Amino acid sequence: MVPATSSGWWLMFVGGKLLLPADELLPLEPLSSAAFEADAVSRHFLGRLDGLDCWAAHLHSAPPGWREVPLRSAMMQFSAPLAGLAGRAAQVLEWDRTHRYCGVCGTPTELQPGERARRCPACGQASYPRLSPAMMALVWRADRGRPELLLARAPHFAPGMFSALAGFVEAGESLEDCVHREVQEEVGLQVHHLRYYGSQSWPFPNSLMVAFTAQWAGGEIVPQPGEIEEAGWFPLDALPKIPPRFSISGHLIRDTVQALAEA
């Protein structure tokens, strides 16, 4: 067994918020591995980052010198490895919180040594962290040789923000089936020539975003009531406000714009 490191990365949460130093000028840094063990309601080992142990911990309240910050805001300040670690910590803690009791018989579950699982001592039901796969589709077309992107906004988006289409994969669907269904449902269009772009863990609360580009194959835009507030075709040089590169949608849109402009 590899010995524990004397200091480590502690991703501490109160409720669903991550704790950061109260002094906003101070970055999150490794801490003594024993500093918060006594205060942790629950804690989980996540592995190692830069050779240091990593822990996810849930606390009842923020200790002196710390402040509660929404996870998304905190992750946007971090390097990619640390942001990924924070997202993983949040998902593990949420899984632990929501599986304290067996979903089959209601008996309190027990953490299993050596694996990320909670097991029911009465009926043997084991619960592991689950992901909810979701697709993202950036639809494009060439209008008289001039490429355009289909962008839409949902009612919960920030004012003026547009993005690619997205939706959860349903039971029995492939990712490709989901792309075709969601595009048809959300804007009434048909697409073809799907191309995989990439994926991103999205811990809000436990999604895995799988992104595609797709070419328009037919139909006129008809926004789905209650889901899509506005949707339209936008030339590459006249895009509305789009998500930052923090999210895969921000990468997908910008990289597709560059690829289409260079084609």
Terminal Cα distance for the chain, rounded: 53
**132-262 shares the fold of 7-98:** yes
- For residue 159, how many other CB atoms are within 10 A of its CB? 6
Is the pLDDT at 224 greater than 70? The verdict is yes
Q: What is the pLDDT of residues 119-140, one digit of tens each?
A: 999 999 999 999 999 999 999 9
* 250: confidence class by pLDDT, cuts 50, 70, 90: very high
151 bridge partner residues: 232
Q: Which CATH architecture has domain 7-98?
A: Alpha-Beta Complex (3.90)
Q: What is the pLDDT of residues 228-240, one digit of tens each?
A: 999 999 999 999 9
What CATH number does the domain located at 132-262 have?
Answer: 3.90.79.10
% of the chain surpassing 90 pLDDT: 88
Is the pLDDT at 1 greater than 90? The verdict is no
* 44: confidence class by pLDDT, cuts 50, 70, 90: very high
- Answer yes or no: pTM beyond 0.75: yes
Q: What is the pLDDT of residues 181-211, one digit of tens each?
A: 999 999 999 999 999 999 999 999 899 999 9
Q: Would you state the pLDDT for residue 143?
A: 76
Q: Would you state the pLDDT for residue 4?
A: 84
Q: Would you state the pLDDT for residue 34?
A: 66
Structural domain spans, the chain: 7-98, 132-262
Cα–Cα distance measured from residue 62 to residue 14, given in angstroms and rounded to the nearest whole number: 7
Q: Is the peptide bond before 21 cis (omega within 30 degrees of 0)?
A: no
What's the one-letter identity of residue 120?
A: C
166 bridge partner residues: 136
Q: Nearest 5°: phi and psi at 54? A: -125, 135
